[in-house]
Amino acid sequence: MKQQFSRRSVLARIGAAMAGLLAAPAARAAKTAVQKVFVSSGAAKGYDVMKHKWLMCVDANKCIGCGLCAEACKKENNVPEGPYFRTWIERYVIPKPKPGSGETRGEPIVDSPNGGMHGFPPAAIPPSEIEHSFFVPKLCNLCEHSPCTQVCPVGATFDAPDGAVLIDPKYCIGCGFCIQACPYGCRFLNPFTKTAEKCTLCYHRITRGLKPACVEICPTQARIFGDLNNPVPDDPLQKFCDQNLVQVLKPHLGTEPRVLYAGLDKEVR
């Protein structure tokens, strides 16, 4: 069927197409109808996300490796059993150097049996051979330039305005890119929800004025938590920052982690 398309008929066709697209009332009604299926509505809270800036810091000098924090986190956040940890403790055992080897120390032995959540068994070498040994709690480093949120293809993980790095479990497609991109190994794929998961600073607790479960339970205050925008009297976070020289993990990657560590050794990565 051969047709000669005159300018008038072309414009008429394009105009009809545009009018169809811009049928606003119909589109809006259709939009709400469709979105009842796709999107759920959340509950309103009296918490102003713009007024807070949460931070957790770690004093490795105080950690006794009891593992109560890792256990509490699993309970508080319903983390599945198995190699899935929102927070864990690492043990570093640095042996004495072999005599005559000309070295300052032996090969470090690092372990984290079950994330340390049931405590630690005796070390692999007897105490007489140990030069240094210590525990380091690990968690999400709350990076300023978080590589994990950068690589999320859909916007399911994000930096909340109040300092937490969170995952929207209803929006995550489970591609795993954020898990690959995190240099600190703090993310995992939940085998049941099939979405990415990580430490949320117990967001559901801190927005109610409670402390994260791990901070609550730590017997020696090795985990220090606070609100940088609203310090309390004798704020432990302020004291920690004032009194300690600190390090961050993997500074060379440029992620600008906000979690500060006191008492780290060069072997801690």
Partner 1 sequence: MNEVTNLVFEVLPKFEGYAYPNEAGPHPLWGFLIVLYPYITGLVAGAFIMASLVRVFNVKALEPTYRLAMLTALSFLVCAPLPLLFHLGHPERCYEIMMTPHFTSPMAMFGFVYAWYLMAVLLLELWFDYRQDLVEWSHTTPGFKGIIYRLFTLGVTDESAEALKLDMKLGWIISIIGIPSAFLLHGYVGFIFGSVKANPWWGNVLMPIIFILSAVVSGIALCVFNYMVLTWIRRHTVDMRCLDTMAMFLFYALVVDAAVEGLDWIHRVYAAEEGFSVLRTMIREKLFYTLNLGQATVGTLVPLLLLGSLQLLRRRVPELVRRRMIFSCGVMILLGVLAMRWNVVIGGQLFSKSLRGVMGYKIQFAGVEGWLMGLVLLVLPFIILSVLVKLFLSERLPSSGHTPQDAVAADV
Partner 2 sequence: MRPFKLPPQILRLILLTLGIVGSYLVARAMLTPPSFHEYGWYRGEALEELSARTPVFAGKKACEECHSDILQKLGQFEHKTLSCEACHGVSREHADNNDILPVKLTGSHCLRCHEANPSRPKWFKQIVVREHYTGKCSECHVPHAPNQTP
Please, which of residues 168-187 interact with partner 2 by CB under 8 A?
Answer: 168, 170-171
Per-position DSSP letters for 90-148, written without gaps between them: EEEEEEPPPTTS--SS---EEE-GGGGBTB-PPPSS-GGGEEEEEEEEE----BTT-HH
Buried b (16+ CB within 10 A) or exposed e, 174-211: ebebbbebbbbebbbbbeeeebbbbbbbbbebbbeeeb
State the minimum distance, in angstroms, from the CB of residue 103 to partner 2: 20
61: contact with partner 2 by CB under 8 A: yes
Q: Which of 134, 184, 240, 261 binds partner 1 (CB under 8 A)?
A: 184
Please name which of 153, 163, 145, 154 lies closest in space to residue 201, comparing C-alpha atoms: 163
145: contact with partner 1 by CB under 8 A: no
Location of structure tokens 């796709």: 38
State the minimum distance, in angstroms, from the CB of residue 191 to partner 2: 19
Q: Per-residue contact track with partner 2, 90 to 119, x per CB under 8 A?
A: -xxx-------------------------x
1: contact with partner 2 by CB under 8 A: no
Q: Which of 97, 106, 147, 236 binds partner 1 (CB under 8 A)?
A: 147
What's the rounded Cα separation, in Å, for the pair 23 and 2? 32
Which amino acid does the sequence have at 8? R
113: contact with partner 1 by CB under 8 A: yes
State the minimum distance, in angstroms, from the CB of residue 192 to partner 1: 10
Residue 161, contacted partner among partner 1, partner 2, none, CB below 5-8 A by kind: partner 2
Query: 214 or 237: whose CB is closer to partner 1?
Result: 214
What's the rounded Cα separation, in Å, for the pair 204 and 217? 16
Interface residues toward partner 1, by CB under 8 A: 1-2, 82-85, 88, 90, 110-115, 118-119, 121-122, 138, 147, 150-156, 171-177, 179-189, 193-195, 253-254, 269
